[in-house]
């Protein structure tokens, strides 16, 4: 499979390269291509941004409805997922 930039692999490999999920030899093929392809470096950067954003999410367990006294008074989307966003952002 050849992509528009000429890379002989799918963008899944770029994502896999970032996560260390592809073989070492495939990783070398991706790395070699990245050296001279700005479009794929941009794609790698986008994948990295998404991965970093997702790693910032906090896992929140389901509320314990049998013990309402332990429920927080109010949970906002910001409390659950977006603690690190600038407070000037309106969600």
Binding site for Zn ion (CB under 5 A): 5, 7, 37, 39-40
At its nearest, how many Å lie between Zn ion and the CB of residue 39? 5
Q: Determine the Cα–Cα distance for residues 45 and 64; give it in Å rounded to an integer.
A: 39
> Could you tell me the two tokens for 89?
């952002």
Q: Which is nearer to Zn ion, 36 or 58 (CB)?
A: 36
Cβ contact 30:14 at 8 Å:
yes
Q: Which is nearer to Zn ion, 39 or 75 (CB)?
A: 39
Compare residues 8 and 63 and give the one whose CB is closer to Zn ion.
8
Q: In the Cβ-directed half-sphere of 19, how many Cα atoms lie within 13 Å?
A: 13
In 1-91, alpha helices (H): 11-19, 24-35, 38-55, 77-81
Instruction: Give me the least distance between CB of 23 and Zn ion, in Å please.
Output: 19
């Amino acid at each position: 499979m050849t992509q528009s930039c000429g890379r002989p692999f799918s963008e899944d490999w770029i994502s896999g390269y970032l996560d260390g999920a592809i073989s070492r030899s495939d990783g070398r093929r991706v790395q070699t291509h990245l050296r001279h392809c700005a479009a794929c470096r941009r794609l790698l950067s986008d994948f990295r941004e998404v991965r970093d954003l997702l790693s910032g999410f906090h896992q929140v367990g389901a509320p314990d409805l049998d013990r309402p006294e332990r429920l927080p008074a109010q949970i906002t989307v910001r409390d659950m997922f977006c603690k690190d966003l600038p407070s000037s952002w309106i969600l």
